[in-house]
Amino acid sequence: MFSNYLIGLREGLEASLVVCILIAYLVKTGRRDALKPIWIGIGIAVALAMGFGCALEFGSQELTFQAQEGLGGSLSIVAVGLVTWMVFWMRRTARFLKSELHGKLDAALAMGTGALVATAFLAVGREGLETALFVWASVHAASDGTPRPLVGVVLGLATAVLLGWLFYRGALRINLAKFFTWTGGMLVVVAAGVLAYGFHDLQEANLIPGINHLAFDISGAIPPDSWYGTLLKGVLNFQPDPTVVQITVWALYVVPVLALFLAPVGFASGKGNVKEPDAQGTQPSTASQA
């Protein structure tokens, strides 16, 4: 449940920050008349993300078992690729996200209502589709027959919305550089588990051999239905009887990706600050760099 909460929080907070920056900029520049098309674009993006998630969930139920496993494994790999790109992108560009969105918004204001809707839709839609895909893959990987994985995601998204509102009101200050670095590192570990489970799905679909070649089996020491087995499953997508392919894929992903992500580059090399949007026109809060 914690890993799913982390996904909802991390992915949702990015989208919340984008919304805050767009809305706060229009309020500060006296363009409240442009708020309606912005909210329309945001609403369309949210609806598209939810529709995409529903299509993944209910569409896959109509497939055969092997087709379900093949689709689940393939989409898990795609989701991990997108999330990996996202955490590196946010680590390097978060300092410039505000100015980049302001530039796009200025151009859209000059072009008219349709451009404003499209700007908001594209800014939030990418985050929404990535979130829907990775949430679906993670819930699929961590599914234990209970609604806990989905509850974790919903709680994470709700927390992200609350934090976004507090940012907008100027009531909360947070070091975004450190926040995205720490949560990004944890998300890499979660993604490694999703990736390994995705390859296991492909093995069950007979697309990759080795389903019976286990790396180890410690089910006796860590029963999957025990509280600690459930905890490890929920947090790290831990499996007590992984195949050799799963362990190999997990190690080949998590070691180099985590090392590159935690390398002292990106935020550490710059002196710029991340400034939070403030709709009241007061001095914006500043997040120091990691």
280 within a domain of the structure (yes/no): no
Residue 286 DSSP SS3: strand
Quote the domain boundaries for residue 225: 1-262
18 within a domain of the structure (yes/no): yes
Best mean pLDDT range from 38-47, 83-92, 268-277: 38-47
242 within a domain of the structure (yes/no): yes
Residue 136, exposed/middle/buried by CB under 10 A (0-12, 13-18, 19+)? buried
284 within a domain of the structure (yes/no): no
Q: pLDDT band for position 290 (50/70/90)?
A: very low
236 within a domain of the structure (yes/no): yes
162 within a domain of the structure (yes/no): yes
Cα–Cα nearest to 117, from 50, 45, 52: 45
Cα–Cα nearest to 189, from 232, 242, 221, 126: 232
Amino acid at 210: G
State the chain's mean pLDDT as an integer. Answer: 77
Number of domains comprising the chain: 1
269 within a domain of the structure (yes/no): no
83 within a domain of the structure (yes/no): yes
Of 137-141, 168-172, 251-255, 271-275, the one with minimum mean pLDDT is 271-275
The per-residue pLDDT for range 81-102, each reduced to its tens digit, is: 888 887 887 777 666 666 777 7
Percentage with pLDDT > 90 across the chain = 7
Residue 221 DSSP SS3: coil
